[in-house]
Chains A and B, each alone.
Chain A
Amino acid sequence: MAQKKKSSNYYYASQWTLMYAKFRKHKLAMASAIILIIFYLTAIFGNFIAPQGTEQFDSRYVNCGPTPVHFFHEGKFVGPFVYGLQKERNMETFMYEFSEKSDEIYRIRFFQQGQRGGEYKWLGLFESNLHLFEAEEGGVVFLIGTDYMGRDLFSRVVLGSQISLFIPIVGMILTVFLGILIGSIAGYFGGRVDNVIQRLIEVVRSFPQVPLWMALSAAIPPTMKPAQIFMLMTIILSLISWPDMARTVRSKFFSIKKEDYIMSARISGAPGSAIVMRHMIPSFLSYIIVRMSLTIPHLIVGETTLSFLGLGLRSPATSWGVLLQETNKLETIMFFGWKLLPMIFVFITVLAFNFLGDGLRDAADPYK
C-alpha cells in the first residue's frame, strides 16, 4: 500500500518535484547546499557576526596569531574564554610574538553591545551595535589571527564575504542575461545571425582571460568609490563569461527545435512566441540553473584573482581577494601562516558550488 501511494505521487509529480527528489539523493550536493546557505546567512548578518568592523584596527595586536578559545581552566569548566596575551620580542627574528598569560581569564560574552566592535547599519537600515560575541573588557579574541594592521582577520573574512559572495551573484545574473539573450537570438534565428554570433563568441573566448581582466581593471580610475569599483568589476567579469552560457542556450535551442513536441505545438497552431515561452524556455531552464551554479564559482575565483593582483578592490574595502593580497610575500607565509586561512573559505565555497552544480546537473533531467 505504501508502495502504491508513493508511485501515485510520482504520477502527479511535476518536473520540479522530480528534480528535487533526485537532488536530495545526491548527498554531497545537499551538504554543499547547506554549507552555502550558512555562508550566505553569515554574509547577510556579517556586521553582527564579525566582532570588528572593516575600519577598526588595534596597533597593539599587529600580526597576532589565532587566539585559541578555551573551556577549562586548571581542570575546571568555566565556559568559553581566552587568556590574556603577552607581547614579547623574539631576539632571533626581532619580531613581536604573542603568548598566552595563563593567569588572566577573559570570558567570551554573547549578544553584547560591542565595545571593540563598532556601530553599524544592518542592511543600511537599522543602526545597531549588537555583536554575536566579544571577550570581556581587556581581553581580545582573534579566531584566525590579525593582519599587519592589527585587524581581526575573521571579521574581515566575514565582511569580505559580503562582496565576494554577492558580487558573483550580480555578475551571474548579468552573465545569464547576456548568455540567454545572445544564445536565444542565435538559436532562434539560426543561419547568418547564428554564424555572426558564433564567430563573436569565438573571438571573446580566445582572449586570454587574466591579462584581459588586468587591462580592463587598470582602466578603472583608482579614485572611484569602492561600490562603483565593485560594479565595474562585475560588469567586466560578466562581459567575459557570457559566451559559455550563450553556447549552451544556443545548442539547447537547436536540439529542442527538433523535438516532436515542438512540431506538435506548431501543428496545434501555437504562434512562435508561445512555442518559445511555453515549451522551449521551460525545457532548458533546468540546464540554465545548472550553468548558473557553475558560473558563480568561476566569478568568485575571478574576483579573488583580480583583488589578489591588486587590480580590484583595495584596503580598507574588504573582499577575500584583498585579504589574500597580503600573502603574496614569502615571509608572510613563513612567519604568519594563519594569514592563508581566508583561502580556505574561498576553497570551500568554490568546491561547494561545484558539488551543487554537479547535483543539479544529475537532477536536471529527471526523466532519464
Chain B
Amino acid sequence: MNKDNIVLEVRNLTKTYESGKTKVYALSDVSFTAREGETIGIVGESGCGKTTLGRCIVRGIEATSGEVILHKDGRQIDFLKATKSEMKELRPDIQMIFQDPYGSLDPRMTVYDIISEPLRYFGNSTKDEINRKVDAITEKVGLDKSFLRRYPHAFSGGQRQRIGIAKSLILNPKVVVCDEAVSALDVSIQAQIINLLEELQDELGLTYLFISHALAVVRHISDRIMVMYLGKVVEFGDTEDLFKNPMHPYTKALLSAAPIPDPDYKMERIILEGEVPTPVNPPKGCHFHPRCRYATEQCRNTYPPFEKRNGRYIACWNSGAMEAE
C-alpha cells in the first residue's frame, strides 16, 4: 500500500433534481481526490448533500454531471460512464456501508445469503469458493459462523452492522463509502465498529469516504475532512489542522457547536443564527452569508471560489481577514 497512490478522483460532480421549472442542486460541482488507504471524512448538516455525494459516487443514484475516475492498474476509467462490461470489472471496487443496519439487510434472506449475494453477480465462483469467502469475511468482521443460517431479525444493531460490512467487503473493494455507518449505534457498540473499520482498513488497504454528522467520530477516524454546506464543499483539509484551526466561518461554528463530554470544558460556542436553508431556494452569493457574522457585500452577491490557502481548500471571501482578527 502506498499512501500517495491516488485511487479515486471526483471531478465536478453535480446532482440536480427538477421539480416543475425549478432546478434543485442537491450537489454542485464537488471535486476531490482520494489516496489509497486514507479516510476522508465528509461532514455537514442535513441537506448539505453529503449523502447524495456518497450515493452518486457508488452509482446508487445517477449523478447529473461530473466524473468519478477510478485509478486501476495504471488505467483511469470514469466509473459513471462505464460500459456494462467495464462495470462488471469496476463495480466490486466501490462499495458502500449503510447507516441503518435494520433497513439495509433484506429481512427475508439468511445472513449467508445476504453476505454472499454480491458473489452471485461477479466472478463465477464455485459453491466451495463462495463458502470459503463467506467464512473468511465473517471471521474478519467478528461474526460467529453459527450466525450464517440465521435471519437478520435475530441480531442487534452492532451485529447487523457487522453483517452489512461483511457484505460490502466480500468483493474486495478498494473504496468504501461509509454513509453514517456508526450513527445509529449506541456508544459502546459504536466504538467496537469504529475499531473494526480501522482494523479492516489497515489490513485490506481500504480507502474510506466516511460520511457522518458526528464530528467527534469523524475526527477520530479521518485523515482529511471535507465540510459541506448546501451541496457545496466549503472547506477541505487535514483533520488535525482543520480541527485546531478551522478557517471557514461555518466550520468554526459547526465545530464549536458539538457538545464536549467534559463539564469543565470552556469553549466559546458560536451559536449560529437562523436555520439551515434548503437547497430548493439557496441564498444568492455565498450560501452561508445569511448566517455569517463576517458577511460583506461581496459575500451577498457572488459565490467565493474554492481555492487552496495555507495548505487547505476553502471557499470564503473573508478567511484572510478572519485570521488577522
Contacts and interface: CB of A to CB of B under 8 A. Distances in A.
**Interface residues of chain A: helix, strand, loop or mixed (majority):** helix
B252 interface: no
Interface residues of A, number: 25
B313 interface: no
Contacts of A274: 120-121
Interface string A1-12: 000000000111
A267 B96 contact: yes
Contacts of B14: none
B117 A268 contact: yes
Contacts of A283: 106, 108
Given A268-B118, A269-B92, A263 B98 contact: yes
Interface in B49-102: 55, 58-60, 87-88, 91-92, 94-96, 98-100
B153 interface: yes
Contacts of A279: 106, 108
Contact of A270 (B55, B92, B121, B154): B121
A264 B150 contact: no
Contact of A268 (B88, B107, B167): B167
Q: Which of A260, A263, A279 has its CB near the most chain B CB atoms (within 10 A)?
A: A260
Given A268-B121, A269-B92, A261 B60 contact: no
Interface string B158-199: 000000100100010000000000000000000000000000
Contacts of A260: 98-100, 103-104
B306 interface: no
Contact of B98 (A12, A264, A270): A264
B104 A264 contact: yes
Nearest to A268: B118
Contact of B60 (A12, A15, A267): A267
A222 to B, nearest CB: 50
Contacts of B7: none
Nearest to B177: A267
B145 interface: no
A269 B98 contact: no
A138 to B, nearest CB: 63
A271 interface: yes
B55 A263 contact: yes
Contacts of B55: 263
A14 B122 contact: no
Interface in B143-159: 149-151, 153-154
A11 B154 CA distance: 5
Q: Which of B55, B91, B110, B149 has its CB near the most chain A CB atoms (within 10 A)?
A: B91
A11 B148 CA distance: 10
B252 to A, nearest CB: 33
A367 interface: yes
Contact of A263 (B60, B94, B149, B150): B60
B182 to A, nearest CB: 15
A73 interface: no
B105 interface: yes
Interface string A239-279: 00000000000000000000111011111111100100011
Interface in A51-79: none
Interface string A275-297: 00011001100000000000000
Interface of B: 55, 58-60, 87-88, 91-92, 94-96, 98-100, 103-108, 110, 117-118, 120-122, 149-151, 153-154, 164, 167, 171
